[in-house]
């Protein structure tokens, strides 16, 4: 484990930037920072550390990229589309740099762990000052200091550490919901996936560090805590995942504990037992299945088959009848036949998922699946996606309807995104979205909501007030 606070290079870089920023602030030009995030919750959690380090260096939050002296773009590489979106946002920084050459522009995250992307940024995006791959994130102060002091571009690749890094400050986006990374990286090498290449091998934090972080969060008012990792059930700190979960569950307080993501190949009976017997553990399991066809699952290198997946679902439901099960599905994996695709549809039907995140297969350079010869055409992929969505929507609706008339505990998040005045939204313990009328005092609190109407992906109801 590395502690940045004991690391001379880290602390001296922070101190140097801090001093520079203090001088600017005294002249009335306090420098500001802005972070743009793409990708999964792991990236959201990383961005909270980037914000933490930026504030530690003496930057204040900016309203947007235009009034920032430090812009960091935290990228995702999971699909082609994610990379193209990030590149387009990076491209927009050109104008900002033309207006003010002193603005520091950095790109980090999964895209920048690929040599060809770093080369591309170096060559075609001359206004990008530095890149930092995910396992070098704690080198942010050093990158910023070296760009500002030496006016040199820095492209940090292959300099990261393969240990958990502790001590980076965190600026969280919400008080009542919090992400806690418990492990980093992935060893699974699913044949379609870029993550093991860009986030490197699995490394787990010490359970003591995690428990302290969660305890502090609860004391500060966090009500919903999500443990994060590419495959949380392969957590191997000084204990295994079920043990970590049950130690966290033993903490006192009014909170819900969640975890993301689990790999179906290692959902143990012990894990199910801990969740079922938990006091704080949410009745929700995100269990990405990817495909319902045994041949495709084998080609994906997933290490389970349809029967085993269904058996796990059954065990979960037997132990916790009210559990919500959600999943990820890929359509159009190389060589997927019409029949194999229907196996995925029939699996969705058989399980009855509460929600599915479905993705069109996107070839990722350097992964085995991208080299497979029988790639599926865009037309077929698009057509299968439409059919998949129909089946997934019907399953979600069937799972949602029985909630009508029920009263559920909801953690209130804030005003509904596109709702009418006075409408708020929140999440049930099963992580289902609910809309209801509320007041600002309800935000961040658990409330009981009576569900009046349930659509596939959102429910509508009323808070029950104690009289």
Residue 79 interacting entry, from ligand SF4, ligand SAH, ligand F3S, none, C-beta within 5 to 8 Å by type: ligand SAH
Stretch that binds ligand SAH, among 149-157, 171-179, 316-324, 361-369 (CB under 6 A): 361-369
Among 59, 309, 353, 361, binds ligand SAH (CB under 6 A): 361
Q: Nearest approach, Cβ of 37 to ligand F3S (angstroms)?
A: 9
Of 365 and 401, nearer to ligand SAH (C-beta) is: 365
Q: Taking a C-beta distance cutoff of 8 angstroms, is the pair 341, 331 a contact? A: yes
290 contacts: CB under 8 Å, gap ≥ 6: 190, 296, 297, 300, 302, 328, 329, 330, 333
With binding defined as CB under 6 A, does residue 38 bind ligand SAH? no
Q: Of residues 18, 41, 188, 358, which one binds ligand SF4 by CB under 6 A?
A: 188
Query: What residue ranges in 76-156 does DSSP mark as E strands?
Result: 104-109, 130-132, 154-156
Question: Is residue 408 a contact residue for ligand SF4 (CB under 6 A)?
Answer: no
Q: Provide the 8-state DSSP code for 236.
A: B
Please identify which residue in 40, 104, 190, 297 interacts with ligand SF4, judged by CB under 6 A: 190
Q: Is 263 in the site for ligand SF4 (CB under 6 A)?
A: yes
State which residue, 193 or 391, has the beta carbon closest to ligand SF4: 193
Report how far residue 114's alpha carbon sits from residue 118's, in angstroms, rounded to the nearest whole number: 6
**Segment 74 to 93, residues that bind ligand F3S, using CB under 6 A:** 76-78
* Neighbouring-strand partners of residue 429: none
Site string for ligand SAH, 149-188 (x = CB under 6 A): ----------------------------------------
| ∠ CA 287-289-290, rounded to 5° | 135
Residues in region 221-250 near ligand SAH by CB under 6 A: 230-231
**What H or E segment, with its residue span, contains residue 215?**
helix 207-219
Binds ligand SAH by CB under 6 A, chosen from 263, 280, 284, 435: 263
Residue 364 CB, nearest approach to ligand F3S (Å): 9
Q: Is 186 in the site for ligand SF4 (CB under 6 A)?
A: yes
Among the listed ranges 134-142, 192-200, 211-219, 430-438, the one in contact with ligand SF4 (CB under 6 A) is 192-200
For residue 286, report the phi and psi dihedrals to the nearest 5 degrees. Answer: -95, 115
CA–CA distance, 254 with 252 (Å, rounded to integer):
7
In angstroms, rounded to a whole number, what is the distance separating the alpha carbons of residues 285 and 292? Answer: 18
Question: Binding of ligand SF4 at residue 230 (CB under 6 A)?
Answer: yes
User: In this complex, which beta carbon is closest to ligand SF4, that of residue 18 or of residue 188?
Assistant: 188
Confirm if 248 and 220 have CB atoms less than 8 A apart: no
Q: Indicate which single residue of 195, 325, 395, 400 sits in contact with ligand F3S (rule: CB under 6 A).
A: 195
Binding mask 444-463 for ligand SAH (x = CB under 6 A): --------------------
Label residue 223 exposed, middle or buried (CB < 10 Å: 0-12, 13-18, 19+).
Answer: buried
**CA–CA gap between residue 96 and residue 91 (Å, rounded):** 10
Q: Which does 362 bind (CB under 5 to 8 A by kind): ligand SAH, ligand F3S, ligand SF4, none?
A: ligand SAH
Give CA–CA dist 198/40, Å, rounded. 14
Q: Which of 357, 427, 341, 433 has the alpha carbon at shortest distance from 392?
A: 357
Judged by CB under 6 A, does residue 131 bind ligand SAH?
no
Single out the residue of 252, 245, 294 nearest to residue 272, CA to CA: 245
CB of 284 to ligand SAH, least distance (A): 15
* Dihedral sign from CA coordinates of 82, 84, 88, 90: positive
Q: Which is nearer to ligand SAH, 130 or 192 (CB)?
A: 192
Based on the shown chain and the rule CB under 6 A, indicate whether residue 117 belongs to the binding site for ligand F3S: no
What one-character-per-residue DSSP string does 340-358 give?
A: HHHHHHHHHHHHT-SEEEE
189 binds ligand SF4 (CB under 6 A): yes
CA distance 161 to 135: 6
Q: Does 78 help bind ligand SAH (rule: CB under 6 A)? A: yes
Site for ligand SAH, rule CB under 6 A: 78-79, 192-193, 195, 230-231, 261, 263, 288, 290, 328, 330, 359, 361-362, 364
Site for ligand F3S, rule CB under 6 A: 39-40, 42-43, 76-78, 109-110, 194-195, 198-199
């Amino acid at each position: 484990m590395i502690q940045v606070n004991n690391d001379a290079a880290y602390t001296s870089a922070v101190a140097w930037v801090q001093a520079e920023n203090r001088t600017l602030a005294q002249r009335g030009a306090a420098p500001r920072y802005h972070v743009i995030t793409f990708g999964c919750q792991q990236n959201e959690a990383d961005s909270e550390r980037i914000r933490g380090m930026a504030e530690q260096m003496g930057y204040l939050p900016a309203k947007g990229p235009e009034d920032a002296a430090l812009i960091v773009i935290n990228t995702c590489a999971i699909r082609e589309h994610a990379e193209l979106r990030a590149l387009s946002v990076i491209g927009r920084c050109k104008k900002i740099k033309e207006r003010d050459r002193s603005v520091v522009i950095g790109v980090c995250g999964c895209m920048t762990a690929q040599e060809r992307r770093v080369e591309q940024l170096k060559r075609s995006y001359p206004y990008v000052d530095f890149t930092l791959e995910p396992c070098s994130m704690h080198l942010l102060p050093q990158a910023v200091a070296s760009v500002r002091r030496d006016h040199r571009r820095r492209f940090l690749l292959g300099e990261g550490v393969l240990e958990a890094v502790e001590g980076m400050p965190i600026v969280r986006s919400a008080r009542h919901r919090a992400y806690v990374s418990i492990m980093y990286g992935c060893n699974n090498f699913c044949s379609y996936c870029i993550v093991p290449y860009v986030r490197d091998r699995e490394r787990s934090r010490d359970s003591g560090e995690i428990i302290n972080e969660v305890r502090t969060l609860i004391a500060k008012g966090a009500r919903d805590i999500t443990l994060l990792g590419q495959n949380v059930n392969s957590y191997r700190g000084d204990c295994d995942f079920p043990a970590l979960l049950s130690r966290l569950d033993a903490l006192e307080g009014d909170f819900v504990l969640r975890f993301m993501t689990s790999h179906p190949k290692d959902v143990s009976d012990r894990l199910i037992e801990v969740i079922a017997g938990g006091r704080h553990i949410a009745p929700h399991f995100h269990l990405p299945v990817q495909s319902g066809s045994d041949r495709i699952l084998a080609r994906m290198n997933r290490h389970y088959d349809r029967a085993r997946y269904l058996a796990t679902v059954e065990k979960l439901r037997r132990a916790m009848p009210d559990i919500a099960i959600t999943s990820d599905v890929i359509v159009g994996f190389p060589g997927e036949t019409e029949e194999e695709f229907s196996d995925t549809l029939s699996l969705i039907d058989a399980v009855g998922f509460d929600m599915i995140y479905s993705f069109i297969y996107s070839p990722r350079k350097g992964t085995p699946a991208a080299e497979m010869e029988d790639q599926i055409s865009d037309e077929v992929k698009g057509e299968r996606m439409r059919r998949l969505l129909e089946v997934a929507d019907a399953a979600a609706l069937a799972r949602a309807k029985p909630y009508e008339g029920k009263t559920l505990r909801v953690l209130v998040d804030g005003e509904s995104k596109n709702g009418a005045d006075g409408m708020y939204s929140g999440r049930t313990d099963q992580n289902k979205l609910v809309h209801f009328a509320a007041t600002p005092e309800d935000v961040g609190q658990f409330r009981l909501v009576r569900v009046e109407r349930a659509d596939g992906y959102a429910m509508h109801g009323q808070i029950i007030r104690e009289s």
